[in-house]
């Protein structure tokens, strides 16, 4: 028996046995179902013919496992940009990313045409510090063009040991391609930061959604309330360039501010387990104080769920630009030998029934990306050695007491916070949100 016939017959037997076990399918006698079965076996025969031709004709001898893995990769990646067949190393890296600590540049990416598109840089990561922006198109990694490269191959090239450097060539709208050298780091995501912009107006930045994000956000708001000497009259929730994360994190964050019954989000797919409803849990930590949610084209997935939920429940005014539009749910399936499958199983819908997929969240008030800063002005963020994580500790030449040292550290932190607030006040989106909240507070009184 030739290899082709052996492979063909083996595959036919295995798949026929699998199909036969689904009696509800095989027992159906309609002509339409018979036609579907015949078409299925014709397609399978076409696959085995190509497989056999490659085995016999390709210039090098290719291992069967490699051919099957490549076939599966092609089958999965052809579905959509977010479905991926994961080799053991990739599966491990995905789990590391979900944990909130991993090595690399700190960008969330997606495949677009022949390039790799940046959905958003993660706050305070090498990519963020290097000036990488949402919407940038990576066209070369090192000396390797991205054209024809899989997303997984691109990720593999950009990841690496900490303190090693990678060079990427970036194409940005209305600019010529330019090269950026970035030094890899261990990426540890701090997902929530907050500041009291001025009396009664709080600002909270959420950079990603993880399991602890809602608890961190609640703690941050509590600190701002304490700093303010009483409840905040208004709050800015900044979700710009937030690439998403854990679904439950988004649901929990939404529930911190929604006080009425209903849904936060629901999903719909082909199988019953993909049809889920996530209900609200009344208990607004701001007691109804006005809110503005800031979004832009880098706000994706879980951040779109939060923006959509607060918008539909009339709990917040959404300002900025239309979000990315990643409204699909991916399920991770663990396979044998450490392999994995990340496959799209459902779509997200806001409480009012709007699909996020490929549409995004449209803001109530659209803002253009305008800078209020003077280009020639000296940088507000004046970083010195003692501001850097892991810097060598200063010796104590003046024999300061422990209390004096702590007091000096607190003053240094207060100085950094003051600089951050100054920078935020020159952020056009934050400036406009602040003015709106002031007007709403006056009207409310």
- Using one digit for the tens of pLDDT, what is the confidence trace for 229-254? 999 999 999 999 999 988 999 999 99
Q: What's the gap between Cα 117 and its chain centre?
A: 13
Reported confidence tier of residue 21, pLDDT bands at 50, 70, 90: very low
Q: Which residue has the higher pLDDT, 109 or 264?
A: 264
Are residue 328 and residue 353 in the same domain, yes or no? yes
Q: What is the CATH number of the domain that holds 126?
A: 2.30.42.10
Q: Is residue 142 located within the same domain as residue 214? A: no
Domain endpoint, select from 153, 188, 223:
188
pLDDT confidence of residue 416: 59
Pairwise pLDDT comparison (135 vs 95), residue with the higher score: 135
Cβ atoms of 325 and 360 within 8 Å: the answer is yes
CB of 383 within 8 A of CB of 352? no
Query: In this model, does residue 30 exceed pLDDT 80?
Result: no
75 found inside a domain: no
Structure tokens at 432: 């406009």
**214 and 147 within one domain:** no
**Residue in the block written with tokens 């009483």:** 230
Residue 403 confidence (pLDDT):
53
Bridge pairing between strands 234-238 and 192-198: unpaired
Domain boundary among the residues 132, 153, 188 is at 188
Residues 179 and 184: their CA atoms lie apart, in Å, by: 16
Over its C-alpha atoms, the chain yields an Rg (Å, rounded) of 26
How is residue 364 annotated by DSSP? S
Mean per-residue pLDDT, 268-294: 96
Q: For position 47, what pLDDT does the model report?
A: 92
Q: Is the pLDDT of residue 356 over 60?
A: yes
Residue 397 has pLDDT above 60, yes or no: no
Q: pLDDT confidence of 72, banded at 50, 70, 90?
A: very high
Residue 378 is predicted with a pLDDT of 35
Question: At residue 297, what are phi and psi to the nearest 5 degrees?
Answer: -65, -15
The pLDDT, as a whole number, for residue 92 is: 79
Inter-CA distances, 237 with 205, 362, 430, 439, Å = 6, 16, 10, 17
52 & 196 share domain: no
pLDDT value at residue 190: 72
Q: Which residues are catalytic?
A: 301, 312, 326
Domain range for 7: 3-62
From residue 338, alpha-carbon distances to 104, 178, 327, 334, 345 in Å are 22, 38, 28, 7, 21
pLDDT-derived band of residue 53, with 50, 70 and 90 as boundaries?
very high
Do the Cβ atoms of 362 and 354 come closer than 8 Å?
no
Least trusted range by pLDDT, from 69-78, 160-169, 187-196, 202-211: 187-196
Give the whole-angstrom CA distance, residue 34 versus residue 26.
9
Percentage of the chain beyond pLDDT 70 is: 81
Q: Does 197 share its domain with 184?
A: no
Asked whether residue 111 falls in the same domain as residue 136, the answer is yes
Average pLDDT over every residue of 257-271: 96
Could you tell me the CATH number of the domain that includes residue 224?
3.90.226.10
Confidence of residue 170 (pLDDT cuts 50, 70, 90): very high
Per the structure, the count of domains in the chain is: 3
With a cut of 80, say whether residue 179 has pLDDT above it: yes
Q: Categorize the per-residue pLDDT at 373 as very low, low, confident or very high, splitting at 50, 70 and 90.
A: low
In 350-390, at which residue ranges do the beta strands (DSSP E only) sit?
365-366
Q: Is 250 found in the same domain as 302?
A: yes
What confidence score (pLDDT) does residue 439 get? 94
Q: What's the whole-model pTM score?
A: 0.72
pLDDT at 218 over 50: yes
| Residue 443 covered by a domain | no
CA 277 vs CA 244, 280, 325: distances in Å = 19, 10, 20
pLDDT at 255: 98
- E strand residue ranges, 77-146: 84-86, 101-104, 107-112, 115-121, 137-141, 144-145
The SS3 assignment for 436 reads helix
Residue 237: the pLDDT is 98
Looking at the DSSP bridge assignments, the partners of residue 342 are: 84, 332
Is 132 inside a domain boundary?
yes
Residue 235 lies in a domain: yes
58 domain residue, yes or no: yes
Domain end (from 62, 80, 110): 62
Note whether 282 and 310 are same-domain residues.
Answer: yes
| Rounded Cα distance, 206 and 97, in Å | 17
**Banded model confidence at residue 389, pLDDT cuts 50, 70, 90:** very low
Please say if the pLDDT value at position 8 is more than 80: no
Q: What is the mean pLDDT of the chain?
A: 84
3-state secondary structure labels for all residues of 290-348: CEEEEECCCCCCHHHHHHHHHHHCCCCEEEECCCCCCCEEEEEEECHHHCEEEEEEEEE
């Amino acid at each position: 028996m030739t290899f082709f016939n052996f492979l063909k017959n083996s595959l036919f037997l295995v798949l026929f046995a699998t199909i036969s076990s689904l009696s509800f399918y095989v027992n159906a006698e309609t002509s339409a179902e018979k036609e579907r079965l015949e078409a299925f076996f014709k397609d399978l025969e076409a696959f085995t013919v190509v497989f056999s031709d490659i085995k016999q004709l390709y210039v090098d001898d290719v291992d069967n496992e490699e051919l099957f893995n490549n076939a599966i990769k092609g089958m999965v990646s052809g579905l959509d940009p977010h479905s991926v067949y994961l080799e053991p190393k990739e599966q491990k890296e995905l789990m590391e990313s979900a944990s909130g600590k991993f090595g690399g540049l700190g960008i969330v990416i997606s495949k677009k045409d022949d390039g790799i598109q940046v959905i958003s840089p993660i706050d305070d990561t090498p990519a963020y510090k290097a000036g990488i922006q949402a919407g940038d198109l990576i066209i070369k990694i090192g000396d390797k063009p991205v054209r024809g490269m899989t997303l997984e191959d691109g990720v593999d090239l950009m990841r690496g040991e900490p303190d090693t450097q990678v060079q990427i060539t970036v194409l940005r709208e209305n600019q010529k391609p330019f090269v950026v050298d970035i030094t890899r780091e261990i990426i540890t995501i701090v997902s929530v930061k907050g500041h009291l912009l001025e009396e009664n107006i709080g600002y909270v930045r959420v950079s990603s959604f993880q399991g602890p994000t809602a608890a961190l956000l609640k703690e941050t708001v509590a600190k701002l309330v304490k700093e303010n000497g009483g409840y905040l009259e208004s709050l800015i929730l900044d979700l710009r360039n937030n690439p998403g994360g854990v679904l439950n994190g988004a649901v929990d964050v939404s529930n911190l501010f929604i006080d009425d019954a209903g849904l936060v989000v629901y999903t719909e797919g082909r199988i019953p387990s993909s049809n889920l409803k996530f209900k609200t849990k009344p208990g607004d930590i701001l007691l109804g104080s006005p809110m503005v949610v800031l979004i832009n084209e880098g706000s994706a997935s879980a951040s779109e769920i939060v923006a959509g939920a607060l918008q539909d429940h009339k709990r917040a005014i959404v300002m900025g630009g239309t979000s990315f539009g990643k409204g699909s749910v991916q399920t991770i399936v663990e396979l044998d030998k450490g392999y994995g499958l990340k496959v799209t199983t459902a779509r997200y819908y806001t409480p009012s029934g709007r699909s996020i997929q490929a549409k995004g969240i449209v803001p109530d008030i659209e803002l253009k990306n305008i800078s209020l800063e003077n280009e020639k002005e000296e940088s507000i963020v004046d970083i010195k050695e003692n501001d850097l994580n892991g810097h060598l500790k200063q010796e104590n030449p003046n024999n300061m007491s422990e209390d004096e040292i702590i007091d000096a550290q607190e003053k240094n932190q207060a100085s950094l916070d003051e600089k951050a607030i100054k920078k935020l006040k020159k952020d056009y989106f934050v400036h406009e949100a602040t003015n709106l909240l002031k007007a709403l507070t006056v009207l409310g009184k």
